[in-house]
Chain A
Amino acid sequence: MLTILILAGKELRDGLRNRWVLGATLLLTVFALTLAFLGAAPTGTVKVAPLAVTIVSLSSLSIFLLPLIALLLSHDAIVGEAERGTLALLLAYPVARWQVVIGKFLGHVAILAFATLTGFGVAAAALSATEGAPEGADVSALPAFAVLLGSSVLLGAAFVAIGLLVSTLVRERSTAGGIAIGLWLGFVLIWDMALLGVLVTDQGRSVTGGVLDGLLLLNPTDAYRLLNLTGDNVGAFGGTAGLARQTALTPPALLAALLAWVALPLAAAVARFARRPV
């Protein structure tokens, strides 16, 4: 356990030193603040809880940014060390291979969690500081905000695990980078468009609600989106209320899907790395 913490601490320190932590935190904070205030502006007159609106915009932001940051962090983790020549030395120490993978995973998730919690937390704090009047409405959105924070970290963790798996599979950093960008495009952009296209052409003949639910769970970003945009007082602003009413996916099921998206790639990365020649 100590070894894993030492390795995770090393990743964290590297992240601090090469400005990854700073960059990711600043990026998320700036975007979150911008969205919080731009998103709150049109609803200001109708006295809607601004935090609820912000949750919608922030979750849309996370879907794009968190997977990208996570993949950029993790795709290099194993193959980069192998290419730089530091991996052989590390494995000559009293360190098991699975500890290397888990340690790097925890370190990267810690970096992402710090950036997410700081960025979104600052946005929420700034929002409640400027909005004096509708206190009651704001408090009701707090559980949803907590879900947003937690699921954002989980989404990041899922993509860190996916990136690590990529990193253990390939021989060159550039290959890992290409695959990471491809995965990001696929999961974040292409999947939903393809799904939409299928739904439109199919006209509900063979793609039933159950099949659609399954297809949504096959993409961690969709599980995340449904989890955050289908809350009672949030879904109405997210434009997904219609989908949310039809889907049979409950929050626990979505949470389980996200957890599986963390655990399965991570387990595959551990298994693959155990056999990787150095």
Chain B
Amino acid sequence: MTEPLITLSHVTMTFGRQVAVRDVSLALNSGECVGLVGHNGAGKSTLIKLMLGLIRPTGGHVHALGGDPAGAAAGRARVALGYLPENVAFQPAMTGAETLAFYARLKRQDVRGNAALLAKVGLEQAARRRVGTYSKGMRQRLGLAQALLGSPRALLLDEPTTGLDPAARQDFYALLRDLRDGGVGVLLSSHALAEMEGQVDRVVVMNAGHKVADGSLNDLRALAGTRPRLVVRLAGAPRAVVNVPDRWIGWRMICDDVLDIECDEADLPALMRTLPQEVIEVDIARPSLDDVYAAFLRGKAAARC
């Protein structure tokens, strides 16, 4: 087991009286794509800034690429780090190519590699245009290009997919998969858990500064305790319910002829085999990731009361 790229141990961060992050521990490994999910103000951006060393933790320790990211020797480590800030902004009067050239020089990278990088994010046509004329999605892609400068070992992306259209989003996740397969550790934050389905190896859920979950999406589903629902439509309802009441114990009537029941994933096949003849339509409603997410936030809210 190699050492994680970035480790947070029992990190707490307060701004004045406001606690942004409370006792959070997490790790980012090489070749791993981690999703950081939470509401606005849940502490996602604060965690990323702590990893970058832009702010120092009030308590606990941050270890990034072999050192303290806020320490004196952190400059060298930052060469191997790519960062895409939330709502990335650039000097509007410079062109995309000039902007990227400036950042490449700061990282002591050969500027000649920039054209390929711009092509990689689909900006080769707009490279000579001023950033001020770019759309939100184009700025986001330029932001991604600068984060990829110098082949970083760790990528920290703060809400990278906002402003990207669905096609660009697919391209973006494909790019991330390539990077991850090449051994890069990727951390991306988002306030929507659903869009991370199938894209990340692990999800960390933040709520009000606390880490409320850390695991694969399947783990989270199981942990959240949200269960699938079986929904059926009956031909001659609701008489059926009255006729054989035993058979319908636990079912809930949604409207006149539609009933549903919550059950465990494992019980679904058995349940379906025993459905009576009156049933003319069957539907399985699995909890969406947003349901899972909501369950975590509810659970946390309840636990704190």
Contacts and interface: CB of A to CB of B under 8 A. Distances in A.
Interface of A: 2-3, 6-7, 10, 13-14, 17-18, 84-86, 88-96, 277-278
B76 interface: yes
B22 interface: no
Nearest to B87: A85
Given A88-B85, A89-B83, A17 B78 contact: no
B54 A93 contact: no
Contacts of B87: 85
Contact of A86 (B52, B79, B91): B91
Interface stretch (B100-108, B179-187, B267-275, B295-303): B100-108
Given A85-B87, A85-B88, A92 B106 contact: no
A113 to B, nearest CB: 22
Contacts of B105: 6
Contact of B54 (A13, A84, A92): A92
Interface of B: 15, 49, 52, 54-55, 75-76, 78-79, 81, 83, 85-91, 93-94, 98, 102-103, 105-108, 143, 146
Contact of B93 (A6, A18, A88): A18
B88 A92 contact: no
Nearest to B94: A17
Nearest to B51: A92
Given A85-B89, A278-B49, A92 B55 contact: no
Of the candidates A6, A90, A92, A95, the one having the most CB atoms from chain B within 10 angstroms of its own CB is A92
Given A94-B78, A96-B75, A85 B55 contact: no
Nearest to A95: B106
Of the candidates B76, B81, B91, B143, the one having the most CB atoms from chain A within 10 angstroms of its own CB is B91
Contacts of A95: 75, 78, 106
Given A14-B94, A91-B54, A94-B76, A3 B85 contact: no
B126 to A, nearest CB: 17
Contacts of A89: 83, 85, 88, 143, 146
B93 A14 contact: yes
B114 to A, nearest CB: 15
Closest 9 CB pairs of A and B: A92-B83, A17-B93, A85-B89, A94-B75, A278-B54, A94-B78, A93-B106, A84-B89, A92-B52
Contacts of B55: 277-278
B78 A92 contact: yes
A77 to B, nearest CB: 13
B90 A86 contact: yes
Given A88-B54, A96-B75, A10 B89 contact: no
Contacts of A88: 49, 52, 54, 83, 85
A94 B85 contact: no
A270 to B, nearest CB: 15
Contacts of B75: 94-96
Nearest to B86: A85
Given A89-B88, A93-B103, 19 more contacts: A6-B102, A13-B94, A14-B91, A14-B94, A84-B89, A85-B88, A86-B90, A88-B85, A89-B85, A89-B143, A90-B106, A91-B54, A92-B78, A93-B78, A93-B106, A94-B75, A94-B78, A95-B75, A278-B49
Contacts of B54: 88, 91-92, 278
21 contacts: A7-B106, A14-B91, A84-B89, A85-B86, A85-B87, A85-B88, A86-B89, A88-B49, A89-B83, A89-B143, A91-B54, A92-B54, A92-B83, A93-B78, A94-B78, A95-B75, A95-B106, A96-B75, A277-B55, A278-B49, A278-B54
Contacts of B93: 14, 17-18
Nearest to B79: A94
Given A6-B102, A277-B55, A93 B89 contact: no
A13 B93 CA distance: 10
Given A88-B54, A92-B52, A278-B49, A10 B85 contact: no
Contacts of B143: 89
Contacts of A6: 102, 105-106
A277 B16 CA distance: 12
A3 B49 contact: no
A90 B103 CA distance: 8
A18 to B, nearest CB: 5
A89 B82 CA distance: 10
A3 B102 CA distance: 11
B225 to A, nearest CB: 38
Contact of A3 (B76, B81, B103, B106): B106
A277 B70 CA distance: 12
A94 B75 CA distance: 4
A157 to B, nearest CB: 23
A61 B146 CA distance: 44
Nearest to A3: B106
